[in-house]
Chain A
């Protein structure tokens, strides 16, 4: 009798396990033959809150490469176009669908043009690239901190001209402490001209000379997004979309769970249009590029935009690495065994059940008819 009972229990457990992982056939867009990702590098957004634009650029570049074109969308362009359309005072606010929409509607400035615009400043300042990027980086970060402070005090992101100029001079002065050569003061008038009231305007003006007259229109498949999904169904929906489209799926989620896997970022979905989130949620956007069954659940492969090293967000997960010299793929690599400079991290496997509790939105390009 005991044996029969154990047998039935085992059968039931096996069935529930199968049900949980059904539809989770192994799939990996990073390692697939002729994958567009061979031409779309891992990105690093640094301290700039442009995750929506990085996600949009990767989703769009995947479609472009799949259609036989070059990856041509630069995240900065998406951030600037969205900020212009929404008239926001910072590029660091946005969502993936709107970013995609505005790039498609207003045209795309190719990556090479945007790089040329940044390089122009390097030559103008007769400085090392590190110094010019350093100034923009310091300036953008100071503007960001001041805007955050201003928003807390007065619910506005607007800073005065004088305030922006003060921040710019401070950024240049601080950078000069680090600078071995170059004439960084020469950059102040140029950057002041660019810094017309708002940082999106500054970036827009910086890119304008290179992008004007060189915009390309992108013909891509239909773009879709979901944000009203019951908690337990998110990973299943992502899985279905991955398999149906054969394309990456953009996700907006509480990134705190990457640091603390048991974190519950979404605390209340009673109003599906406005889910309530934990104050520590840390809203973020990335792309899902693969799936695999693991025990009783489905794991999803997330490609982040935080560089390709073993950072704080990779420590709790097994990842997909590539050997730097040979290019060989090593699956299930971990910080404890592979953080030796030989490997670059290209994605990490996260538990679908844990991701479910932190999901806010998915978006993707439908398969071409």
Chain B
């Protein structure tokens, strides 16, 4: 336990990054694959620098798609969960819809979304939102339904209306569950955006990668992939951090400390 504690987060990230680079370089040298199959790190870094402006532009678009998709998907998911729990008719009508939205392979919807919403931002935002809608709704509605019955008895003795209980007890009690949903959403939202870009787009990192692949610019493709990965990881940790700050009462215990 001490050894894992001795290195702080950033230092550990650097070590992991360096380790991956070394492994990558070793793989290139050992397999002697041509650069158009597996470029070495230096070549990719060079591509990153050379194409910095272009990658940056495409990255900004993809990031916008992811963030907008996240925002819309989380808002819709949370609202649906509240509706499901607050109104019994909503449960009957929304639940089947929810199951269908998850049973249909979301990727199969991508061509449709592009057809309907065009090649621009909207279809990718919709794709990301659709893909995260279910995990957010499921996590939050579960949390809303699992509020401590003791709290609800207490609310009953305080003459709380159902809506007041929902607002002041069920909803805050379900925030940790919502947070789990949001974490999953943050991890999968980039998938939605990139798949959307693959199906039809004129900008974004997914588009850039397809484009580079077609022109055998594998180093550029890797550079775009690297940035995509960096965005996804940074976004996840930013969201994770924000969620922890929003819920300071939520105790955390690591199994390693038992």
Do the two shown chains form a genuine complex with each other?
A: no
